[in-house]
Homo-oligomer: A and B are copies of this chain.
Amino acid sequence: MNLQPNSQPEQTVAGTSNYSRAPRMAKEDRRDQLLTTALNAFADGGYHTTSMDDIAAAAGVSKPVLYQHFPGKRELYLALVEYTLVDLSAKLDHSLAASDVNRIRVESMIDTHFEFVEHQPQAHRLVFSADLLAFPEVADRLNNFYDGIAGIIASVLGPNVGIPHTQAAMLGRGLVQMVQTAAVYWAQHPESATRQEAQQQVFRLAWGGISILDEDWK
């Protein structure tokens, strides 16, 4: 499945017949195309504003085709959320495992986040900006995701600075959100700085706070 922003709904080509019809595709290909289209559509307008008709039209097929590949709108949406979170989690894990030095780790995770926001803005908006509260499962799933990261950060943070684990988790979660927000802000104001500059600022802010936690602890 291609989650990059560049995939476009195909155009029906006028062939020998002037009858407009989507070209026949292999099942998997069609499914992938529908997923990508749905991702973009949802990210663009949110869950409720985006109808199945819209998605089908954007994909250049009719609605029944959509229902042949997915049992319903809800499942389609959940599949996309799940895919995105798994993807991002894997990348963050990878960033974390890339080094043993905490400073490098933090830098790497910040980089991963900026990368994600820059290169997969639809996926990001789908998961972090859309109406999550509507589906409790999604809210739980996202909570889960955040707790995972916060826990990791806490386990890195806590022992070093003598803070109770839950409080370290709280700070970790706040830090993640801080990075994410800053990344989005930068993506919306790309002219303000290069990505590298922006990341560096964010890192200094975060790392500075973390270091102080260590030094200042009484």
Contact = CB atoms under 8 A, between A and B. Distances in A.
A166 interface: yes
A178 interface: yes
Contacts of A204: 209, 212-213, 216
A129 interface: yes
Given A205-B210, A211-B212, A164 B192 contact: yes
Interface in A184-218: 185-186, 189, 192-193, 197-198, 201-202, 204-213, 216
Interface in A80-136: 125, 129-134
Contacts of A170: 182, 185-186, 189, 192-193, 198, 201-202
Contacts of A182: 170-171, 173-174
A27 interface: no
A42 to B, nearest CB: 10
A74 interface: no
Contact of A177 (B47, B125, B181): B181
Given A178-B174, A192-B167, A208 B213 contact: yes
Looking at chain A's contact residues, is the secondary structure mostly helix, strand, loop, or mixed?
A: helix
A173 B181 contact: yes
For this chain, the copies found in one complex come to: 2
Interface string A27-51: 0000000000000000001111100
Contacts of A202: 170-171, 174
Give the 5 A-B residue pairs with the shortest CB-CB distance, closest first. Answer: A208-B212, A131-B131, A166-B192, A209-B209, A178-B178
Interface of A: 45-49, 125, 129-134, 150, 163-164, 166-167, 169-171, 173-182, 185-186, 189, 192-193, 197-198, 201-202, 204-213, 216
